[in-house]
């Protein structure tokens, strides 16, 4: 199968930091179909060789294990080409069209990694240049819009020139091996399914925390904020993966239909829940790993009185038979105590306790997404007999059951150790899926619109809210109001209990 991959924004941060290393890994693993071309597009005046040199130089900033050796890069570089064009100029598409039509590859992937404001015009221009034929697939990066109306406008424009099957809306979280494993855990094993419901589960916590601040993206982030940047897409996709019904098969639409049902079942916001169940925070100066860091408003590109949230905690509920009454807590933020993405499923306690158990100890399934990738199953077992540590086993067996002291123990499955280097990174998997035409891990327009519909009342509420975002010191787990919110239900965040 021949393919051409056109990378609009071929010199940008995303291109050299994520996409090129992922394409190189696919090349190194031999999974990139032979005979392909990767065509970088930007306004810079670069020859093919200058572009190859630019990409080669950028690999110096990529982690060592993912950098090519000299001869490996020579092989990869042969795939790289460059077209100078301004994507806002219709005339500039002629050269690209000429290049693509001369070859007429089986698959043409157009990866739109330019500023979000250019997404629709790129799609329209692709069509105007006659490049939207059935072999074309268009990858759209996030964010697709900044609210429901703008998201709909993008989707309507895209729909006019491309079929839904040609559009690959990327949410790179779905490409993470750990998220794949979440699907495997739920739909490849019978063990958990009978437990996966309100009768057995007390609450679910989804945490996506970063210890980094806004880095060089202050201006972008100040117009975006944590709700748009993380909750509307990544966190809600994780919530869908946890909450969805088993799909009838593994085809893209079967999976996406089930995710859509979850989004539609999210309990709508009321004035009261917007006040009680959403916490908006913003980091102030603090210490991360022993190093003093500035507050958000002191970051480059951020307005001095910015109201943008760098932290959100919220309580969602899926109103259906499986989940009614089970709180799904979502928490995400920058400059938090650790870089961590995990889903914690807290099971209900035993209905009647006959043993002595540590306060708050319950069965818990922890799905670690990053930096660790694995599963922990927290159980309770008989701990050491504190009355006489040296007592022999037979004496222990005869112990009076009422004196048993349970202690937490944990089954640990580390996927990195188990599968190691055989694992494929998120962008590598997603890029190969686009080239091979698999839509399972991409988001359909109706899912995206539904997610925007659900978060929009929060954005409206904040727009009219006279309260400042709650400050939290960098290096902590966010404002205390987030702990108070969960405590009102009688629970605590997993690192607190």
Cβ 113 to ligand NAP shortest distance, Å: 4
Interface residue with ligand NAP among 13, 61, 468, 496 (CB under 6 A) is: 13
**146 classed as catalytic:** no
Q: By C-beta, is 15 or 316 nearer to ligand NAP?
A: 15
- Angle subtended at Cα 229 by Cα 323 and Cα 316, rounded to the nearest 5 degrees: 20
Interface residue with ligand NAP among 5, 80, 113, 424 (CB under 6 A) is: 113
Cβ 271 to ligand NAP shortest distance, Å: 33
Q: How many whole angstroms separate alpha carbon 42 and alpha carbon 383?
A: 63
Question: How far from 40 is each of 4, 16, 79, CA to CA, in Å?
Answer: 11, 10, 11
**Distance from the Cα of residue 232 to its chain's centroid:** 10
Q: By C-beta, is 11 or 346 nearer to ligand NAP?
A: 11
Closest CA to 181 of 238, 114, 108, 260: 238
Q: By C-beta, is 93 or 196 nearer to ligand NAP?
A: 93
Cβ 184 to ligand NAP shortest distance, Å: 26
Q: Interacting stretch for ligand NAP, rule CB under 6 A, among 111-119, 240-248, 323-331, 423-431?
A: 111-119
Q: How many whole angstroms separate alpha carbon 171 and alpha carbon 22?
A: 15
- Using CB under 6 A as the binding rule, the residues of this chain from 114 to 143 that contact ligand NAP are 114-116, 141-142
Cβ-proximal residue to ligand NAP, closest one = 12
How many C-beta atoms surround the C-beta of residue 259 within 10 A? 25
Q: By C-beta, is 228 or 297 nearer to ligand NAP?
A: 228
Q: By C-beta, is 18 or 280 nearer to ligand NAP?
A: 18
Cβ 172 to ligand NAP shortest distance, Å: 7
**Based on the number of CB atoms within 10 Å of its own CB, is 461 exposed (0-12), middle (13-18) or buried (19 or more)?**
middle
Which residues are CB-contacts of 43 (< 8 A; sequence separation ≥ 6)?
84, 85, 86
Cβ 430 to ligand NAP shortest distance, Å: 12
Cβ 442 to ligand NAP shortest distance, Å: 14
Interface residue with ligand NAP among 2, 14, 101, 480 (CB under 6 A) is: 14
- Angle subtended at Cα 208 by Cα 204 and Cα 210, rounded to the nearest 5 degrees: 150
- Using CB under 6 A as the binding rule, the residues of this chain from 16 to 75 that contact ligand NAP are 42-44
Q: By C-beta, is 87 or 242 nearer to ligand NAP?
A: 87
What is the DSSP-derived secondary structure letter of residue 314?
Answer: E
Q: Interacting stretch for ligand NAP, rule CB under 6 A, among 48-56, 61-69, 112-120, 396-404?
A: 112-120
Q: Interacting stretch for ligand NAP, rule CB under 6 A, among 110-118, 124-132, 183-191, 489-497?
A: 110-118
Cβ 89 to ligand NAP shortest distance, Å: 8
Phi, psi of 471 (to 5 degrees): -75, 145
Q: How many whole angstroms separate alpha carbon 84 and alpha carbon 96?
A: 9
Q: How many whole angstroms separate alpha carbon 440 and alpha carbon 134?
A: 19
Interface residue with ligand NAP among 5, 55, 77, 87 (CB under 6 A) is: 87
Q: Interacting stretch for ligand NAP, rule CB under 6 A, among 6-14, 75-83, 103-111, 454-462?
A: 6-14
User: DSSP letter string over 393-442?
Assistant: HHHHHTS-GGG-BEEEEEEEEEHHHHHGGG---HHHHHHHHHHHT--TTS
Q: How many whole angstroms separate alpha carbon 85 and alpha carbon 81?
A: 13
Interface residue with ligand NAP among 3, 4, 6, 11 (CB under 6 A) is: 11
Q: Interacting stretch for ligand NAP, rule CB under 6 A, among 107-115, 248-256, 368-376, 459-467?
A: 107-115
For position 175 contacting ligand NAP by CB under 6 A, the verdict is no
158, two tokens: 């895209």
Question: How far from 386 is each of 64, 359, 389, CA to CA, in Å?
Answer: 49, 18, 6
Q: Sheet with 364-370: list strands edge to edge.
A: 406-414, 374-382, 364-370, 340-347, 201-209, 327-333, 311-317, 278-284, 470-473
Q: Interacting stretch for ligand NAP, rule CB under 6 A, among 84-92, 93-101, 413-421, 447-455?
A: 84-92
Cβ 418 to ligand NAP shortest distance, Å: 29
Cβ 141 to ligand NAP shortest distance, Å: 4
Q: Interacting stretch for ligand NAP, rule CB under 6 A, among 13-21, 174-182, 331-339, 485-493?
A: 13-21
Closest CA to 359 of 492, 244, 233, 486: 492
- Exactly one of 81, 172, 234, 378 is catalytic; name it: 234
Total of chain residues touching ligand NAP, rule CB under 6 A: 19
Give 409's strand partners: 379
Helix 148-161 vs helix 119-128: crossing angle, to nearest 10:
10
Catalytic residues: 234
- Chain residues binding ligand NAP by CB under 6 A are 9-15, 42-44, 86-88, 113-116, 141-142
């Amino acid at each position: 199968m021949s393919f051409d991959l056109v990378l609009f924004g071929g010199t940008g941060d995303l291109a050299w930091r994520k996409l090129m290393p992922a394409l190189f890994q696919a090349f190194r693993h031999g999974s990139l179909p032979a005979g392909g071309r990767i065509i970088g597009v930007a306004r810079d005046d670069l020859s093919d060789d200058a572009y190859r040199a630019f990409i080669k130089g950028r690999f110096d900033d990529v982690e060592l294990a993912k950098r090519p050796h000299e001869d490996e890069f020579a092989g990869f570089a042969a795939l790289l080409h460059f077209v100078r064009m301004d994507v806002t100029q219709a005339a500039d598409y002629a050269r690209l069209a000429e290049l693509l039509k001369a070859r007429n590859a089986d698959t043409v992937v157009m990866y739109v990694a330019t500023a979000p404001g250019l997404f629709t015009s790129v799609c329209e221009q692709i069509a105007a240049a006659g490049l939207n034929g059935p072999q074309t697939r268009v990858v759209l990066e996030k964010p697709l819009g900044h609210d429901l109306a703008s998201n709909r406008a993008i989707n309507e424009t895209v729909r006019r020139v491309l079929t839904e099957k040609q559009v690959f809306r990327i949410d790179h979280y779905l490409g993470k091996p750990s998220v794949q494993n979440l699907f495997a855990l739920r739909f490849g094993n019978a063990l958990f399914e009978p437990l996966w419901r309100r009768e057995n589960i007390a609450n679910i916590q989804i945490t996506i925390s970063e210890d980094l601040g806004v880095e060089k993206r202050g201006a972008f982030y100040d117009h975006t904020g944590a709700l748009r940047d993380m909750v509307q897409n990544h966190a809600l996709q994780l919530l869908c993966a946890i909450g969805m019904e088993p799909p009838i098969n593994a085809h893209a639409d079967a999976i996406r239909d089930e995710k859509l049902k979850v989004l539609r079942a999210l309990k709508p916001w009321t004035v009261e829940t917007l006040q009680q169940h959403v916490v908006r925070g913003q980091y102030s100066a603090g210490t991360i790993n022993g190093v003093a860091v500035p507050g958000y408003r002191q970051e480059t590109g951020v307005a001095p009185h910015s109201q943008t949230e760098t932290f959100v905690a919220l309580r969602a509920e899926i109103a259906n038979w499986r989940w009614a009454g089970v709180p799904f807590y979502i928490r995400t933020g920058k400059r938090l105590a650790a870089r961590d993405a995990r889903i914690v499923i807290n099971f209900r306690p035993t209905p009647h306790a006959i043993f002595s158990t540590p306060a708050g100890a319950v069965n818990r399934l922890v799905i670690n997404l990053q930096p660790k990738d694995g599963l922990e199953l927290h159980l309770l077992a008989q701990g050491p007999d504190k009355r006489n540590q040296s007592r022999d086993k037979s004496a222990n067996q005869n112990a009076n059951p009422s004196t048993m002291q349970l202690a937490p123990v944990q089954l640990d499955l580390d996927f990195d150790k188990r599968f190691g280097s055989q694992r494929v990174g998120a962008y590598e998997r997603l890029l190969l899926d686009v080239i091979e035409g698999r839509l399972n891990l991409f988001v359909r327009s109706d899912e995206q619109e539904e997610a925007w519909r659900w978060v929009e009342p929060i954005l409206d509420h904040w727009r009219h809210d006279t309260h400042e975002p709650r400050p939290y010191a960098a290096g902590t787990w966010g404002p205390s109001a987030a702990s108070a919110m969960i405590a009102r239900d009688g629970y605590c965040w997993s690192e607190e209990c």
